[in-house]
Amino acid sequence: MSFPIYFGSLLALAVLFIFGIRRREKSLNSQFEKQLKAERQNSALHEQRLQAFLSAMQASPNGVVILDSARRIVWCNQTAARLLGLDAIRDVDQHIAHLVREPQFLEYLAQENFENELRFDNKALQLHPYRRGRALLLVRDVTDVERAEQMRRDFVANVSHEIRTPLTVLSGFIETLQTLELGVDEQKRYLQLMATQSQRLGALVADLLTLSKLDAGAKPTLERVDISELLRQCEYEARTLAKSLKRDIHIQFDVAPHADMLGSTSELQSAFSNLITNSVRYTLTGGSIFVTWRENTLTVTDTGLGIAPEHVPRLTERFYRVDKSRNRSAGETAGTGLGLAIVKHVAQRHGATLEIDSAVGVGSTFRLVF
């Protein structure tokens, strides 16, 4: 082989070799780039998913805190920060026990079993341990729940009290009748007083049932309500009540003969009757009561005892009475304390408002505006 040929082949080989390496390098490079690109895309996707996930946790109405195995804060949403007084950025990596220092909470954290939630300060907390000692701490604001529970407790206490009062009176009379030899007249008097108490119990049960029906919430079935007829019944009821209370009260109704409206007859009947019997109950002999129906408005005016302004906003609360002693001693005069609560409920269900104007010693006006 001559030198030039030898040299030429060597050169060709070298060129091929270098070219080959370059090609391999190139393909290696592009493979690497592809992989890198895929990885970048992958991690962008992960980041996107993480952000979406964190936004979802941010949107949660509950407070969410992620804790590591040492109970240090990994992440928390704004609700948790607000409820627990944390700073969602600055407090990362801090021990939760250093930031939320309520003794009940520290005790809760220290235990092993997190089946129950912890309540303090109108907040409900629960720890949910998961992978490798990490834990999710969920926090809820339970102010409304606590308020509703308190209302329910008060209501049960009130109902029990209202039942116990006539019951005590009744059993006292029964004992008297059993142990004492009473004359016929005295017996009659005792039985009359007992009848009054049992009527009181009956009225309480009736009003409780009415309220619970209203509370059940289903919309009232609308029908044409014959207001003229309904108020005729109310007038009769008012006169009968005044007579049974032995009060001479001037009662005047002014209602067009064919007044009607859309609503629930039974609900309107109990609302109207409550307002009108109240005006009889809280008006003394010599007083007057005027009832009118005009332009979808019922107005009940009396020249009775009147109500001091500080009581007016609370009248529609269940069992709220202006003068407890007046009511308790009043025997059959006493209402159940639920009347105006029922009126307000019925008004709401009919899209009506209840307006009250009153002055002590002058009288009151109750208006239902539909």
Ligand X SMILES: Nc1ncnc2c1ncn2[C@@H]1O[C@H](COP(=O)(O)OP(=O)(O)O)[C@@H](O)[C@H]1O
Q: Which is nearer to Mg ion, 270 or 278 (CB)?
A: 278
Phi and psi torsions of 121, nearest 5°? 55, 40
- Residue 300 identity: V
Helix (H, G, I), strand (E, B) or coil at 176: helix
Q: Taking the complex as a whole, how short is the minimal distance between the CB of residue 357 and Mg ion, in angstroms?
A: 17
263 lies in the site for Mg ion, by CB under 5 A: no
Q: Taking the complex as a whole, how short is the minimal distance between the CB of residue 339 and Mg ion, in angstroms?
A: 3
Q: Hey, what are 303's tokens?
A: 């020249």
Q: Taking the complex as a whole, how short is the minimal distance between the CB of residue 234 and ligand X, in angstroms?
A: 14
Site of interaction with ligand X (CB under 6 A): 274, 278-279, 282, 302, 304-307, 315, 320-323, 327, 335-341, 364
Number of helices (H) and strands (E) in the chain: give both, helices first. Answer: 10, 12
In Å, how far are 190, 315, 360 from 209, measured between CA atoms?
Answer: 29, 20, 32
* Residue 302 binding result from Mg ion, ligand X, none, given CB thresholds of 5 to 8 Å by partner type: ligand X
Q: Which is nearer to ligand X, 139 or 238 (CB)?
A: 238
Residue nearest to Mg ion (CB): 339
- Angstrom distance (rounded) from CA 328 to CA 51: 64
Q: Which is nearer to Mg ion, 73 or 315 (CB)?
A: 315
Q: Which is nearer to ligand X, 63 or 363 (CB)?
A: 363
Instruction: State the number of binding residues for Mg ion (CB under 5 A).
Output: 3
Q: Residues with Cβ < 8 Å from 43, sequence gap 6 or more?
A: none
- CA–CA–CA angle 244, 245, 251 (5° rounding): 90
* Residue 368 binding result from ligand X, Mg ion, none, given CB thresholds of 5 to 8 Å by partner type: none
* Residue 86 binding result from ligand X, Mg ion, none, given CB thresholds of 5 to 8 Å by partner type: none
- Angstrom distance (rounded) from CA 288 to CA 283: 8
Q: Hey, what are 351's tokens?
A: 């899209």
DSSP letter string over 70-83?
A: T-BEEEE-HHHHHH
Q: Taking the complex as a whole, how short is the minimal distance between the CB of residue 274 and Mg ion, in angstroms?
A: 6
Question: What's the burial of 361, exposed, middle or buried (CB within 10 Å: 0-12/13-18/19+)?
Answer: exposed
Q: Which is nearer to Mg ion, 304 or 335 (CB)?
A: 335
Q: Taking the complex as a whole, how short is the minimal distance between the CB of residue 195 and ligand X, in angstroms?
A: 19
Q: Segment contacting Mg ion (CB under 5 A): 210-218, 272-280, 297-305, 362-370?
A: 272-280
In Å, how far are 159, 246, 249, 250, 333 from 286, measured between CA atoms?
Answer: 34, 11, 5, 7, 17
Q: Taking the complex as a whole, how short is the minimal distance between the CB of residue 147 and ligand X, in angstroms?
A: 21
Exactly one of 210, 278, 283, 364 binds Mg ion (CB under 5 A); that residue is 278
Q: Which is nearer to ligand X, 263 or 304 (CB)?
A: 304
Q: Taking the complex as a whole, how short is the minimal distance between the CB of residue 338 and ligand X, in angstroms?
A: 6
Pick the closest to residue 301 from 345, 346, 357 (CA basis): 357
339 lies in the site for Mg ion, by CB under 5 A: yes
Q: Mutual orientation of helices 339-349 and 184-216 as an angle, nearest 10°? A: 30
335 lies in the site for Mg ion, by CB under 5 A: yes
How far from the centroid of its chain's Cα atoms is residue 328's Cα? 31
Q: Which is nearer to ligand X, 171 or 244 (CB)?
A: 244
Q: Segment contacting Mg ion (CB under 5 A): 114-122, 199-207, 334-342, 347-355?
A: 334-342
- CA–CA–CA angle 234, 230, 330 (5° rounding): 20
Q: Taking the complex as a whole, how short is the minimal distance between the CB of residue 248 and ligand X, in angstroms?
A: 17
* Residues of this chain that bind Mg ion (CB under 5 A): 278, 335, 339
